[in-house]
Amino acid sequence: MGRVRVNGVELFHEIAGSGEPLVLVHGSWGDHDNWRAVLPALAERYRVLVYDRRGHSLSERPSGQGSRAEDEDDLGALIEELGFAPAYVAGNSFGASTTLGLAARRPELFRGLIAHEPPLMGVVAGDPDLQPLMDAAGRRIDSVLDRLRAGESLAGAREFVEEVAFGPGAWEQVPDQVRETFVRNAPTFLDEQADPGWPMLDLAGLSGYTGPALLTGGTESPPWFAAIIGKLAGALPQADVRTLQGAGHVPHVTHPQDYVAGVIRFIQGAGRDR
């Protein structure tokens, strides 16, 4: 484990294993520890980098309004600084949005990308079937944001877990360490949501990424994710789309063996195509 200063911010990171380079990018509220269930198996085959995105856990939290573009620049600089370029990059949720955004701008840094359910609602905005569902989800998130603006990080984190992410009663089922991580990183979720560009992606720019890409979604996730993945698949020349049966928004946590198998299968296929 270590710390490195890139793009004007100090980031915590860990590197495990050896082999082809693989970078894992966590989503909102979490940190590098979100990958604990899959890291040992992946490190048996690959040189794996996990890190805390800016504003999360052990990484620096700069003052002022942030943007996803900064996260993308951080990821690119980290890949270069630690000698991982070009790398396979796998992102989950907001980490998937970050991965895709960087691929659109810096495709030379990638051997391949894996994105699970990026919350890019902007690319399906106005869909008559999905918009009412997304509006309802947005109202629940707004309630969480109101608590966070009032400085109620614990209450906001609990409300997010129970009303947005997992359902009533879920907070008490979450391990203590994970609850602490949610509370610690609550201010950064507020910052992410204040960035007007967080739900958007330049699909025309993304089409310039011509490398291997795997887009995944879970059968237990809200329906807008499948629609988002469909839009992304239409923009990516080499996109492969797979649905994870029984999984939801964090398959590397809930279905680690299936997630690892999918990553290995993708990298092996991408390697044969090079």
Alpha carbon 117 to its chain's center: 8
* Res 136 pLDDT > 80: yes
DSSP assignment of 32-93, as one string?
GGGGTTTHHHHHTTEEEEEEPPTTSTTS---SS---HHHHHHHHHHHHHHTT--SEEEEEET
How far is the C-alpha of 19 from the C-alpha of 99, rounded, in Å? 21
CATH for 2-125+197-273 is: 3.40.50.1820
* Res 272 pLDDT > 80: no
Q: Which of 30, 26, 35, 21 is nearest to 57 (CA)?
A: 30
Pairing state of beta strands 87-92 and 9-16? unpaired
What value does the mean pLDDT take over residues 91-99? 98
Mean pLDDT across the chain: 97
pLDDT of residue 165: 93
pLDDT of residue 197: 95
Q: Which of 166, 190, 168 is nearest to 178 (CA)?
A: 166
What CA dihedral angle connects 249, 254, 258 and 260, to 10 degrees? 90
HSE-up (13 A, CA, CB side) for residue 271? 13
Tens digits of residue pLDDT in 53-77: 999 999 999 999 999 999 999 999 9
* Res 212 pLDDT > 80: yes
* Res 274 pLDDT > 70: no
Amino acid identity at 33: D
Q: What residue segments make up the domains of the chain, in order of their start?
A: 2-125+197-273, 131-194
Confidence class for position 1, pLDDT limits 50, 70, 90: confident
